[in-house]
Structure formats: C-alpha cells, structure tokens
A and B are shown apart, each in its own frame.
Chain A
C-alpha cells in the first residue's frame, strides 16, 4: 500500500479520492432517498451541473494562472439577458450563432478584466470585485429592471433542456450537458496536450520563471480571463435555456459556486496545478450533494447550506492533510534510498 501511494502521482491520487467521494456520496443517498438511482435524478443533477461546469472550467483556468475571477456571475447574468433579448428580437437566428454570440459577449467582458489585470497590473481580486459590481449595474441599467420571459424566446431554445443527444440505456444525455462536457473536454485535452496551453500552468506556478523562459506572461493571463469570460458566456446560454425567465439577479453568487467546485476539484488556489477531470468531478460532487440534500427527508432543506459548507471544508482539509503526509512519506522513502 505504501509503495502504491509512493508510486502514484499526487494528482492522480487526488482524482481517485474524488472519484471515491463521489461514489460514496451517491451510494449513501441511494440508501436514503427513494428512487434515487433513477433516470430522473440523473437528469436533474446532470442538467443542473451543466450550468455551472463551463463557469467552473473558466474559473479553473484563471486560478491556474494564480488569479481569480469574481465577476463570472455578473458576466453570466449579462450574457443570459442580452442573448435572450437578441433572440426575442431575432427569433430566426441560427442556434450556433446564438452560442457564438453568448460566448462572444462573455469574451468581451473577460477581455476588460484581462487588460486591467495583465497590463494595468491591478490585482485580479480587485479588478473582478470591481467588475462584479460594474457588470451587474450595467445589467440593471440596460434592462431597466425588465424581465426576459420564456414566452418571448423561440421554441427551440425553450425545448433545448429537454432534448437529448444520445441515450445510454435508460439515461438520457441532454444537449446542454453535452455542450458543457465538450467545453470541459476541449480545455482538458488542450491543457494536457498543447504546449501553448501549458503556459497557463507555467505562469501560475512561477510567474518569474515563466517570464525568464520567454513566456509572455501578461498575454497568457489576458487569454485566461478572455476564456473565463467566454465560458461564463456559455454558461449564460445554458442558464437562459434552462430557466427561460431572466431577471437582473441571474447568476448571482455563481462566482462563489464556481470557486467551490474548482477548489473541491483539487485545483490549487495558489495557482500552477489542477486538472479538468478534477474540475468536472468537483462540480458534479458539489452539485450532487446540493441536489440530494434538498430531497433528503431526514434533514430539512434548510440544512443544505450548512452541510454543504462543512463538506467542502472537510474535503479541502482532508486533501491538505493527505497531501502533506504523502509528501512526508515520500521524503522518508527518498532519504532511505
């Protein structure tokens, strides 16, 4: 066992632990909630995780570069509203163009963050704390406190959340879920296979070293924020399709939800490490717990946030302690040889 622990990389151990935690959570709730292991529950959790997954992927890229993006919730709200409004005016717009529009608006918002952080050299937490308020107040002014309603949206969009792309046995994989997974997959493969994408990790793990290695660090950070904005835009599109009714508070609090998913997924908040598989599992784990607690009869739904907070804390604490004792174990093994 010890040799096994010593042989596997910390990152793959973390992924295994996450997978076991996810499995344990699902098994536990299947004994607690009637009809838990059903296609309905699968749909409920997968479509709800699909809204948060793209934001989380974007947030992960930004956090890997040792920055943070607190404005994603506001970007999501702006994108959902503007896209919905555009669709109400131009219902003939091709779906692919709609997704492109949503991601485009998000990318522009992300570019504003990126310029300020990368070349204005304003710390990302300050920039995005500011744009969190700015983008939201833009939405309030722009919308004049009116609401986008399902009735004003074209039928294909309203039906989209119920549409399945493929069915695996009794399980339907919704189109929105495929969209979110595709975003996660593209970024994940890019990060592990593309040399250019590795720069996000290089800049995050040691900005000075990255610069000396000839990496244009500001450009990399800028790109991270643009991607984060674009992915928040994708989430905005999925949000619009899922809920249909968009008010000025759409996406409120998504910045914290996305950070929670990313951190549980094992991306270091200090930058420089993390995997998209981890982000995917982190997102699904947090969302599974969230969705299951609301249906658990043993505790009232008011316990949801309290338990969620404690579980996230427990996950992170275990991860930290395990990583430390693993490092100690390694240190000893290294010393004896």
Chain B
C-alpha cells in the first residue's frame, strides 16, 4: 500500500498531469477518427516519451491509450462507425440517440461511463492482479477452447429474433478470421498473392467496413430520395 501511495504522489506532479492531459487529448483525437486507432497514436507518442522522465512518459502513453479507447465512442456515436473494436456496442445505442438529437447526452454518458469503467477496472486490477496473473499463466488450449465455446453460445443470446441469422453472422466472422497465413503450416489462405493480406483481416478494419458501408448506403439513399 505504501508503494501505491508513493506512486500516486509521483503521478500527481505537474509534469505527469500535463503529460497525461496531452496524451489523452492526442488519443481522443486519434480514437475519434475511424481508421486511426490508439495504436497509431501510441506509435507517434513513443518517440516523444523517450525524451521525458519515466513517470511522465508512462503517463503520456497511458493517457494516449485511454484517450484513444474513449475516443472510439465519439465516431461510434456521431457517425455510427466504431473508432475502436470495443466501441462497436456503443454504435447500437449511441448512434440512434444522435439521430434523435441527443448526441451531446450520448457523448457525455459515454465519457462518464468510460471514466467509471476505467477507475473500476483499475481498482479491480490493483486488488486482483496477483490472482489474475496466476490464472493467466494457467490458461491453456483447453481454457481457450472453452472461451471460444462460450463466445459461440453468446451468439444465441445476442442474435435477437432470428437464431439462424445470428449463426450466419458468426460463421461469416469465422470465415473472415481464417483469411491470412495459417499459423500451423504457414500456408497463405485467401490472400490472392497480397503480402498485406498475410496478416489476415484486422478486426477494426472489418468492423469499420461492416458499420460504415451500410451507413453510407443509407445516407446516400436518403440524399437520392428525399
């Protein structure tokens, strides 16, 4: 606990707070733009962090990460396009609120909930990091299989009225994830000779495509038939 308080004191120095603020702002901007993720923001913030002391540098990177994750909900709410994979669920509730004229309420709620979620998960991490690390080490193929099975079973709960369409969505997702280099035998699958496709389809790219394309078609249809 003593270590925690001394670290807390270090994090509250003006330089650390400034670094966290700057990182959050940059992360928020990058997270808000679909396609520009917090990963890009982190890659840009990394060289800057080399010139800083340890604590402000970590503050800058953490601020960028958290700002980027929160920023993903901005484009999800305003445009209906998730800025980060985790903001995909925000589209379902946030974007209809924007259409109803409650964009500021949705954005405010998303930011407040992100703050509470961040603090809550931080507390949980501090309390349970020892236990979680033991579980993480013992996580083998059987546990991963069980987790995947759990993921499939949630399709039944999330697919709404049509189980068949939920299953089709699940299979389509699995098909997309088989694209790329086979990890066991190193055989390229559905890459059509492209080097970029060897790493597979990025989850965020797939999500942006899935959410953005219908939105664009809908917007263009409304424009064409007022």
Do A and B originate from a single complex? no
Chain B contacts to A: CB under 8 angstroms: none
